[in-house]
């Protein structure tokens, strides 16, 4: 599996707008930075410190775990856009929807995740996504779809 930068053609590769919710935008920024620059990206860590204060460790570690799970589990490419883009790829939109629905409608999240990763058994990755969504919510920053 490859997490790859999106093509420069916004009409084809960036069909979705960036969410209005600042919590969801923080998650998107971390996904983009970690996906493009690796699990130990300092900009992603800094954004989580700014967003969560002293309680940044849990959401940061879980975001890193989710991105590692996606990278090792997906059978195809998961396209991500550059951090500065005001639009999202279909994969980014699906991932944010999975995070928003992981706790409330897990079966919907499971189906979306299976489609995103191209595999049937997504229980481990879904568990990580659910924990990440709970970490955001527990810190008062729920991810909305």
Q: 3-state class of 4 per DSSP?
A: strand
Tally of helices (H runs) and strands (E runs) in the chain: 7, 4
Instruction: Please write down the HEC assignment for all residues of 45-98.
Output: HHHHHHHHHHHHHHHHHHHHHHHHHHHHHCCCEEEECCCCCCEECHHHHHHHHH
What local confidence, expressed as pLDDT, does residue 13 receive?
Answer: 73
pLDDT at 10 over 60: no
Least confident of 12-16, 32-36, 52-56, 88-92: 12-16
Determine the straight-line distance between the first and last CA of the chain, rounded to whole angstroms: 25
Question: How far is residue 15's CA from residue 51's CA, in Å, rounded to a whole number?
Answer: 27
pTM recorded for the entire structure: 0.89
pLDDT at residue 122 tops 60: yes
Distances (CA, A) of 35 to 23, 54, 84, 90: 18, 24, 14, 15
């Amino acid at each position: 599996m490859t997490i790859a930068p999106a093509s420069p053609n916004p009409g084809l590769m960036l069909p979705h707008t960036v969410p209005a919710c600042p919590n969801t935008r923080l998650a998107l920024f971390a996904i983009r930075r970690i996906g493009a620059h690796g699990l130990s990206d300092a900009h992603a860590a800094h954004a989580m410190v700014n967003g969560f204060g002293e309680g940044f460790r849990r959401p940061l570690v879980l975001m890193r775990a989710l991105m590692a799970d996606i990278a090792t589990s997906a059978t195809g490419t998961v396209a991500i856009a550059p951090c500065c883009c005001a639009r999202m790829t279909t994969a980014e939109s699906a991932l944010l929807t999975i995070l928003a629905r992981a706790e409330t409608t897990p079966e919907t999240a499971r189906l979306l995740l299976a489609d995103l990763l191209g595999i049937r058994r997504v229980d481990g990755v879904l568990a990580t996504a659910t924990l990440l969504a709970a970490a955001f919510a527990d810190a008062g920053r729920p991810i909305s779809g």
